[in-house]
A and B are shown apart, each in its own frame.
Chain A
């Protein structure tokens, strides 16, 4: 007598296959694809919060130590900590409608000319869609994906690679335009959000190493940056 497979058993087996397949999941995209997806995602956001920390040798004329603020590339509003003669000072910076504004130790907002900006830490290109950090992600070479890591409570794929000095110099004029630097990006396993980016190498001096770390949060929270009232 032929004992056929009962419909309930067939359904169970089918379900088991579906469950086990979905448990295995699809393999994550390769490192280069992840970088492109994340770059696209970050440039498409309505806004985000960022923290930037520079450690190591920050250069004889490079007083910026850290910055934090909100951005809707290329516009941004940040508080920047500068080292001036051994003491730490905070200034506020706005980059909006193509102009850069500064609020220093005392007094109100003043608008800087492009020549003046070029003397200091020029943040105009930091998140610029064409030459900023997110654009540089797409040009990272030798990209390799590591095992899942948690960054600020979020599961991410760490991706390491190389970026050229010339490319980084476009992003931040104070970075040396020679050789290449090590870049690491921590990209969310879900949604391609960039949670952290780190640039390491002899960034500000041919002999001495330094690291710039960016931490991102509040992805897609609307950020609107307008020119401040002067004076």
Chain B
């Protein structure tokens, strides 16, 4: 939980500059959250992994999310104990080191390690910067600053895939996505160094629930491993699922048991009895899973069947990403105006689900038809609608959860929101990745490619073969997007049934 405290020295310096510099660090890290989705194929190629082994790219994505999730529960407490700026500096160094490992990786193992460290460094920056903002601004004036910090993070993650795609398609190549972080982080640390060295920040002992964090992280890591289909031609889940899944469940049971007993829990698990709290947490996770599916599979679809390069794939995805902030702004306004979280959240998820259903009907010619004579294509509209729906639910679902936890647990509630979204992304993506590849292998199990050379009909046979493979890829994506649409409809139903209405405003 983030607790602001008075820091006379920090207040004496230019707080806008301080927040600007730390915010820039947060922006840098949030750019990298989904930056890899448009650079996956060249990244795999550089570590000598073939394009028909895409399952090996899964840990590049899940590794970052796991690193992020591992530090989130303890980062707030660590910033209390060591000071916001010190934690910020340490995390930025970790993030830069992770970037270095990723950029120089000769193997998949180093690539994934780099991404885990990037996630851990980047994840801890969020509570550190939010807490710093809370320290620098008094309670009455804090809200817009915290909003600006959160917005910076959201904008960074929205721009990440575009940024990654543009660099990957340029002559610099994908490694520069990560190289550039090192001088940027160094510059920020240099600018902040006088403040960090002066050590004027107030520090206080914090009650860190290490055991709780360890159990939650171990459970999530085991669950990710259990769901990771390393050989999708044989199984849609991991080979060790039989022992990893029960062990993961055991970790989660122990986590809940421990959280009920410890005096300073990471999350008050008794809150789960409140249907509005549980409903908003689950809805948030489902929306996270939906977003992750779009983030990963739209660029891959663009590469694999529309033969787009990384920057064109990024621009295609950007149409969806653009809808998110528009939806998010309108979602907050509408929830307030209509005084209903459940209606706006359910509406957003239904729109996103309809968007996914539309995307699931895509075929080779889907990118060309124009929308009612406008310069926009039908595909643009479908992507915008999907992003808009995913954005619309953010504010009402977040507000419903924060209302459910009350003032005293608001900080922990805000962290829990991020954690649940990431858990949804992690679990949803792991499941979808395994099952979709398994289905692709099943569908093409008897599709033997013709061999060139001595075969006089090779050209014709090969053209037919390529068409069949493309169709199998489309079928795989149709399945993924339909399954995601169903999950989002379930999320909409959950939101409609569980979210409480807005509380009456309290006038002071």
Q: Measuring CB to CB, which residues of chain A are less than 8 angstroms from any residue of chain B? A: 65-66, 81-82, 87-90, 102, 104-108, 110, 112-113, 115-116, 119-120, 231
Contact = CB atoms under 8 A, between A and B. Distances in A.
Contacts of B48: 65-66, 81, 88
Contacts of B187: none
B451 A112 contact: yes
Contacts of A65: 48
Contacts of B449: 104-107
A63 to B, nearest CB: 11
The residue in A105, A116, A119 that gathers the most chain B C-beta atoms within 10 A of its C-beta is A105
A205 B90 CA distance: 51
B463 interface: no
A88 B445 contact: no
30 contacts: A87-B45, A87-B51, A88-B45, A89-B50, A89-B51, A89-B52, A90-B52, A102-B451, A104-B448, A104-B449, A105-B52, A105-B449, A106-B444, A106-B445, A106-B447, A106-B448, A106-B469, A106-B472, A107-B445, A107-B447, A107-B449, A108-B445, A108-B446, A112-B451, A113-B454, A115-B454, A116-B454, A119-B451, A119-B453, A231-B446
Contacts of A87: 41, 45, 51
B448 A110 contact: yes
B58 to A, nearest CB: 16
Interface residues of B, number: 21
A87 B469 CA distance: 16
Contacts of A81: 48, 50
B204 interface: no
Interface of B is mostly: loop
Given A108-B445, A110-B448, A120-B453, 14 more contacts: A65-B48, A88-B45, A88-B49, A89-B51, A90-B50, A104-B449, A105-B469, A107-B444, A107-B446, A112-B451, A113-B454, A119-B451, A119-B453, A119-B454
Interface of B: 41, 44-45, 48-53, 444-449, 451-454, 469, 472
Contacts of A102: 451
Nearest to B49: A88
Nearest to A81: B50
A112 B44 CA distance: 29
A56 to B, nearest CB: 15
B51 A88 contact: yes
Nearest to A80: B50
Nearest to A87: B51
A106 B45 CA distance: 19
